[in-house]
Structure 1
Amino acid sequence: MWSLKAVTQLCKNTVASGNISAISTAGLKYFAPPIKYENIEKVERPKLRIMERMPQYPPNLRPPKMQKRLRYMRGPELVHNTLLHKQYAIVATGGGRLRWGHYEMMRLTIGRKMNTDTMFATWRIPAPWQPITKKGQGQRMGGGKGAIDHYVTPIRAGRIIVEIAGRCEFIEVKGFLTQVANQLPFKATVVSQEMLDQQQVEEDLKERSNENPFTMKYVIQNNLNGCHRWLSPVDHKWFGKHL
């Protein structure tokens, strides 16, 4: 058994005698191959277009008024919940309403930050179309429905707001897309196609591997503990997933 003192003394004697031979070796490094963007479609206008502040009606038609219709913001989005270009996007995780100022904020921020030579952005939501009425300050109650104040676009959870694609990676667009998502009037997040696929796989795995039979759906459908007395119709429809 060699002691630490003996090994140290042996090294000192070897260095003093000059019997050390240095062998230069070259290591083999591995670099990942570059990403091939073969299926990228080239667009004429890479930046987001300007949205109209209000819908255009014929001159002989009075703009119609509308009820609140809060159901347009509740529940999951069933149609526009997938990526068309299969790259990156901003996805709403909660319901809310977008005004014209939010459109301009997204258009200007993304237009300044993005590289128009390698990437492009597209809207996945329509222009503001739902009228919101408001009465003037100081008016007494009654007198009919107020005049149209502005227009909004109702958004549901899971709706794709803006989509970014092109010859770019996720790290390039995550910064300014997160900045935009944090300024929206509802909760939103930045996702990629890989993240959406992974999320779907995890949800399916949890559902298959769940050994507890008392899920929220089972409890509500079987009225366990008399929960029908205090549950809302929304809970009966989506089983506690959406408000």
Structure 2
Amino acid sequence: MNTNNLLKTLRIFITQTSGFKHFPPPKNFDHIEIPERPKLKFIDKVPQYPANVRPIKMQKKLRLMRGPELVHNTLQLKQYGIMALGGGRLKIEHFDVMRLAIGKKIDPTRMFAIWRVDAPWQPVTKIGQGQRMGGGKGGIDHYVTPIKTGRIILELGGRCEYEEVKSFLHDIAMKLPFKAMAVSQEILEKKAADEKYEEENNQNPYTMKYLIQNNMGGCHRWLSPYDFKYCLKYV
């Protein structure tokens, strides 16, 4: 075969193979069942007490927002959700914002969402403006749900990919009164693996725990009991 015929053959071969695409096969969602009510349930503004029970007042109890969440920190559906990155309180307005946004964005024929937090239950009291000091504790103004770091706020599942729901989950997380982020099961597993790797392969002995335990720089004078417990990890 002469040179011209060889170049023509190579040119034809390159032209034929340059348009080939190799895509991975789509995920199989046959095992997922869509519930009858795929959208988030309506949340009551005030907890329902029995007729003969008077609504109780409560202290602030800031410890309900401090530290890590040890129970509801994983995805039950193993798909997608919103995770809190700091402590805070959810009001009924925040529940309504999440419920309406999820209801508009998801496709109910192949997606569904569930709550992972309780309805507002902790009472917050308030004294009316212009009143004199004293007179006892004020009346109940509204109810909130305390949230700790790492708490899963809601979950979204169905026959969908993470890239399909990431944008509106991120928008909802930005509207919450504390730092939050959209997560998937792969993100949580990678985050846990990274934390474990950093802890096992850390070559710097002067960690925050070591500094606090040895009173480096006299830090015991200005640290709180929660700083000793969480080593400044959860503020």
TM-score range, shorter chain: over 0.9
**1:144 is the counterpart of 2:132:** no
Equivalent in the alignment of 1:6:
none
Equivalent in the alignment of 1:183:
175
Aligned-pair CA distance for 1:40: 1.9
1:86 to 78, 81, 84: 78
Residue identity matched to 2:26:
P
Q: How does 1:1-243 map to 2 (within 5 A)?
A: 21=8, 23-25=11-13, 26-27=16-17, 28-243=20-235
Relative to 1, partners in 2 of residues 1:169 and 1:146: Cα closer, same or farther, differing over 3 Å? same
Which of the pair has more CA radius of gyration? Answer: 1
Q: Tell me if the contact between 2:34 and 2:111 (Cα under 8 Å) persists in the aligned partners.
A: no
> In the TM superposition, what whole-angstrom CA distance separates every residue of 1:49-91 from its partner, at most 9, and x where no partner exists?
0000010111111100001111111111111000000010000
Aligned-pair CA distance for 1:20: 7.0
Number of residues paired by the alignment? 228
> In the TM superposition, what whole-angstrom CA distance separates every residue of 1:103-160 from its partner, at most 9, and x where no partner exists?
0110001100111111100000000000011111111011111111100000111000
Aligned-pair CA distance for 1:41: 3.4
Question: Segments of 4+ in structure 1 off by > 3 A?
Answer: 19-23
Please give the secondary structure, in 2, of the residue aligned with 1:145: coil
TM-score of the two chains, using structure 2 as the length reference: 0.92
Aligned-pair CA distance for 1:234: 1.2
Of all paired residues, the percent bearing the same amino acid is 59
TM-score of the two chains, using structure 1 as the length reference: 0.89
Relative to 1, partners in 2 of residues 1:139 and 1:166: Cα closer, same or farther, differing over 3 Å? same
Whole-Å separation in 2 of the counterparts to 1:149 and 1:185: 18
Whole-Å separation in 2 of the counterparts to 1:206 and 1:21: 56
Relative to 1, partners in 2 of residues 1:143 and 1:30: Cα closer, same or farther, differing over 3 Å? same
Please give the secondary structure, in 2, of the residue aligned with 1:24: helix
Whole-Å separation in 2 of the counterparts to 1:155 and 1:203: 22
Relative to 1, partners in 2 of residues 1:24 and 1:72: Cα closer, same or farther, differing over 3 Å? same
Unaligned runs of 5+ in 1: 1-13
Whole-Å separation in 2 of the counterparts to 1:39 and 1:229: 57
Aligned-pair CA distance for 1:38: 3.7
**How large is the Cα RMSD of the aligned pairs?**
1.8
Q: Tell me if the contact between 2:34 and 2:110 (Cα under 8 Å) persists in the aligned partners.
A: no
Please give the secondary structure, in 1, of the residue aligned with 2:146: strand
Aligned-pair CA distance for 1:42: 2.9
Residue identity matched to 1:106:
M
Please give the secondary structure, in 2, of the residue aligned with 1:133: strand
Whole-Å separation in 2 of the counterparts to 1:222 and 1:80: 33
